[in-house]
Chains A and B, each alone.
Chain A
Amino acid sequence: MKALSIVLKKELLEILRDRRTLMVIGIAALATPLIMLVISQLATKTATQTYTVGYSGEVPAGLDVLLTATGLKLEHVDDPATAARQQVDIGVVFQPGQIDEYYDPTRQGAQIADVRLQTVLGRYEAAKVEAALRDRGIDPGVLHPLPVKVHPLSSPVKAAGNAFLSFFLPYILISMVLTGGLSAALDSSAGERERKTLESLLLTPAPRSRILLGKILAVSAISLVAALAAIGSMLLALTQIALPGSDTASSHISLSPLAAGVMVWLAILMAGTFSSLSIALGTLAKNFRQGQAYATPLYFITIFPASIIVFIPDFNPNLAYYLIPILNAVLVLRDAIVHNSVAWPALGVTSASLVATGMICWFAALRLFSREALLVKS
């Protein structure tokens, strides 16, 4: 095992002196909080922004006050239908006994203004109906024969935070575990061939399996550091950023200790798998650039599983789905974040699947690393 430790130390030393790898880790640690900040600012801006309603006709009494309170500014225009195309966010024609609304659904501002207008009009209508019933001596309660009282089992703000984390955290974790060590992996495989040090290395009595394992461990360590730096800085940033709609401390997003533990465990397993895979691909390449071309498809692995959480938030698969590498990590992490619980059978299957995938990648890398073609010039 001495050879393994010698290779590991040397690879780590080289990686720490490599600007490319350090830059990836630095950018990951800095860029993630910045992205969070921008998203938060945009969300806050959207929530507090005032939208313009271009109208004609006579505004019903009291409705103007409600509209202004909801962030809808009234502006008189000659033709609301034409104005709603560009000049204002939505157009409204107030007629006796009827309201015509014009809006372009392809414009995000128009969509938000429409939702707000419908909400305000609904409340206005309900208030008018209740007032008319009272005038006639009828209890407005007849309109609600089955009143519903909602009892949320957890804070809706917290739930929104969890939903946010359940997408971003797996995505950042997977992408950083892959990209954080990719440059180092290609440098220690394709780079060895490119700078013609591979032959000298293979001439030493150190077994090739130990040399390869030393390289994989070094790349795994860097991948893990990159992923944890990115996630750590993201969580740190989130403690400073409140969710829109609330300014209390509880509205800040945080990760439970259980979810954090699951995340670190999955990061370790994925780091080993990705490192073996990227070194295997790098071993196939004759130089660093060719290695990058071979590794490019790996980026798709990071985006597809995380996308499932976005498009199917309530995706509750059976245990067999947890055999699919990477997707299983996303699902386990989602459950740990959203429900703050771990289904141990699912985690067991996921761990076994990732370990098996890592072993397959390791054997593939070793086979490629041991072939004669590695040294024979084409």
Chain B
Amino acid sequence: MSPAAVTVDRLEKTLGKNKVLRGISLEANAGEIFGLLGPNGAGKTTTLRVICTLLAPEAGSVKVLGFDTRINPEEVRRRVGVVTADIGVYSRLSARENISYFARLSGVPDRDLKPRVDAVIDRFGMASFANQRADSLSSGQKQKVAIGRAIVHDPEVLMFDEPTSNLDVLASREIREFMVESRGRGRCVIFSTHVLHDAERLCDRVTILHEGSVVATGPTAEVRGAHRDLEDAFLELVL
């Protein structure tokens, strides 16, 4: 069996005076959608932020494609793409300029830049507003730009942190389709959400966090067990 794309081992993290993560361990593999579930404040976002090197582990370790986040943070960031609910974009740049900027910073070679950016623009149907300044775009269009900039360097690990929380039905569906498509291309997709219906439909395996600890982990069907759905299983575990 090939080694996991992301390995989190006994991870601990304190933010301010709060112990946010209390020894979390998990593994996410290439070619799967891995669900990170839990109520607000469970530690999902903090876990993702440690994995993508924005925060440093206090104890324990995190490896992404074999690179330790403490030792090789830049190598980790080169291989990771993160989509969040925040749709902040540079308002004085066009959609294309926003995506190109992040592509360059992520190390996309100059010769590949235009084809790569064009491919992202086509994939998310941004051609009609690609050259418009971002301050004139709608929320849905900005979200597409935000996704585009996160995946333009074609990362091997994709993390989605509550990506659909500010989106309408159509935009949410597009993101779900993209996750499935990425899994098909052998990418490791980590999906953090509290929308359990989405998680049950998409995720191959899930980990449920509660107050900074793992309370359940395994294949989705296994975690659901004898319950009617994942929501019932979740409620039983966290209440």
Contact = CB atoms under 8 A, between A and B. Distances in A.
Given A195-B91, A197-B90, A206 B56 contact: no
Given A202-B54, A205-B78, A196 B92 contact: no
A3 interface: yes
B5 to A, nearest CB: 17
Interface in A177-227: 195-197, 199-207
B42 to A, nearest CB: 16
A285 B143 CA distance: 25
Interface in B75-90: 75, 77-78, 80, 82, 84, 86-90
Nearest to B87: A196
A200 B74 contact: no
A199 B55 contact: no
Interface in B111-164: 146, 149-150
Contact of B93 (A13, A196, A375, A376): A13
Interface stretch (B29-37, B100-108, B178-186): B100-108
Contacts of A203: 52, 54, 77, 80, 82, 150
A202 B55 CA distance: 11
A243 to B, nearest CB: 45
A372 B49 CA distance: 10
Contacts of A202: 54
Interface string A39-68: 000000000000000000000000000000
A195 B54 CA distance: 18
Contacts of A125: none
Contacts, number: 69
B15 interface: yes
B149 A207 contact: no
A18 interface: yes
A18 B92 contact: yes
Contact of B146 (A6, A13, A200, A376): A200
Q: Which of A201, A205, A206 has the most CB of B within 10 A?
A: A205
Contacts of B84: 199
B86 A204 contact: no
Interface string A241-265: 0000000000000000000000000
B119 to A, nearest CB: 19
B106 A14 contact: no
A76 interface: no
Contacts of B89: 195, 197
Contact of B105 (A195, A204, A375, A376): A204
A103 B157 CA distance: 86
Given A10-B93, A13-B93, A372-B55, A205 B88 contact: no
A17 interface: yes
A197 B88 contact: yes
Interface residues of A, number: 24
Contacts of A201: 105
Contacts of A205: 74-75, 77-78, 105-107
Contact of B86 (A10, A17, A199, A376): A199
Contacts of B78: 205
A203 B79 CA distance: 10
A376 B15 contact: yes
Contacts of B75: 205
Nearest to A193: B88
Contacts of B87: 196
Contact of B92 (A14, A199, A372): A14
Contacts of B97: 10, 13
A207 B86 contact: no
Contacts of A206: 105
Interface of B: 15-16, 49, 52, 54-56, 74-75, 77-78, 80, 82, 84, 86-93, 97, 101-102, 104-107, 146, 149-150
Interface of A: 2-3, 6-7, 10, 13-14, 17-18, 195-197, 199-207, 372, 375-376
9 contacts: A195-B90, A199-B86, A200-B88, A200-B102, A203-B52, A203-B77, A204-B105, A205-B78, A372-B15
Given A2-B104, A372-B54, A372-B56, 17 more contacts: A6-B101, A6-B105, A10-B97, A13-B92, A13-B97, A14-B90, A195-B89, A196-B88, A197-B89, A199-B86, A200-B88, A200-B150, A203-B54, A203-B82, A205-B105, A372-B15, A372-B55
